[in-house]
Amino acid sequence: MSGRTVVVTGAESGIGAACAAAFGAAGDRVAIFYHADRDAAEASAAAVRGAGGEAMTVQAQVEDEASVDAAFAAVEQAWGAAAVLVNSAGLNMTGVTVRDMALDQWRRLIDTDLTGAFLVSRRFLTGRGTAAGDAAIIHISSIHAYAVRAGGADYCAAKGGLTTLVETLAVEEAARGTRVNAIEPGMILTPMNARAQTDIDYRHALERNIPMGRAGKPEEVADLAVFLASDRARYITGARIVIDGGLSLMQALGA
Ligand SMILES: NC(=O)c1ccc[n+]([C@@H]2O[C@H](COP(=O)([O-])OP(=O)(O)OC[C@H]3O[C@@H](n4cnc5c(N)ncnc54)[C@H](O)[C@@H]3O)[C@@H](O)[C@H]2O)c1
């Protein structure tokens, strides 16, 4: 399967950028949805083209209904309805506990990581119409969808909500041929984990908690996304696939 139209949100950075390049290498047309950094988006597009795919860049704020609509409309005008959506746009937790968390912070994270997922999923589906046909939605969630951390209430709640959004969508869209799955990464070396890339002691301290002894690479998450969007995953829907080197199995450490 190649030559599909693939929309990747958050595609100018980290896991989204790796997904864009991986779908490009599979011979797909990739729409790079980016938030603010146009140069980074163009670099992602160049990587897609270098890998053998086609690329276009489109500005989109995932929490803004009109922006999401305009971005999908631009893709549909150029290439027709998308067959694959990878939603990687997201903000990270800040370490602020609930008693100190401002309502604005809570809203910003829920708007981006959860409402954004709803808006891009809905626009992807309506762009395809009601006829049946193979399609795939992949949301980049997190192990924090179920493994909570103090200081991450906004993020954990958003990713936890994303789980049930993915499951509901999977049930609603199965008969039309759209499979909907979540990828739940552990610690992946991206700009979201900037300190782990520059502070080697900090990184090693975190990596000691990972049974495989190392953080993951964005390309490893991208390989999973390409698989989940492929015909080899044709019977997988409503699933949450953990990719964390075993990290989330260590929750009872010290019990
Ligand atoms: N890196 C990790 O360890 C890790 C672990 C688990 C889950 N995740 C998830 O993976 C996804 C990608 O994160 P990453 O690690 O690549 O980080 P990243 O910061 O490199 O990428 C996040 C992307 O989201 C985009 N974005 C942020 N707000 C946006 C908005 N309002 N509208 C549109 N785009 C917006 C950013 O521009 C950026 O391209 C996120 O959903 C994150 O929660 C990451």
Of the candidates 173, 97, 140, the one whose C-alpha atom is nearest the C-alpha of residue 10 is 140
Is ligand 1 within 6 A of the CB of residue 67?
no
CA distance 199 to 131: 51
**pLDDT of 58:** 98
Domains for the chain: give ranges and CATH numbers.
5-250 (3.40.50.720)
> Of all protein residues, whose CA lies closest to atom 30 belonging to ligand 1?
61
Note down pLDDT in tens along the chain; length 255 residues: 579 999 999 999 999 999 999 999 999 999 999 999 999 999 999 999 999 999 999 999 999 999 999 999 999 999 999 999 999 999 999 999 999 999 999 999 999 999 999 999 999 999 999 999 999 999 999 999 999 999 999 999 999 999 999 999 999 999 999 999 999 999 999 999 999 999 999 999 999 999 999 999 999 999 999 999 999 999 999 999 999 999 999 987 767
Give the closest residue to 245 by CA, choosing from 196, 210, 206, 204.
210
Looking at ligand 1, which residue's alpha carbon is closest to its atom 12?
88
> What residues act catalytically?
155
Largest Cα–Cα distance of the chain, in whole Å? 56
For residue 63, which atom of ligand 1 is closest to its CA?
Answer: 31
Q: Which atom of ligand 1 is nearest to the CA of 191?
A: 20
Whole-number Å distance, alpha carbon 217 to ligand 1 midpoint, is 14
CB of 61 closer than 6 A to ligand 1?
yes
The closest-lying atom of ligand 1 relative to the alpha carbon of residue 155 is 43
Q: In ligand 1, which atom is closest to the CA atom of 144? A: 6
Does ligand 1 lie within 6 Å of residue 12's CB atom? Answer: yes
Q: Is the CB of 216 under 6 A from ligand 1?
A: no
Question: Which protein residue's CA is at the shortest distance from atom 2 of ligand 1?
Answer: 188
CA neighbours closer than 13 Å in the CB half-sphere of residue 175: 3
CA distance 209 to 217: 16
Residue 59 structure tokens: 């500005």
pLDDT of residue 123: 98
Q: How far is CA 173 from the centre of its chain?
A: 19
Establish whether residue 245 lines the binding site of ligand 1, counting it when its CB lies within 6 angstroms of any ligand atom.
no
112 pocket-lining for ligand 1 (C-beta < 6 Å): yes
Task: Indicate if ligand 1 lies below 6 Å from the C-beta of 10.
Answer: yes
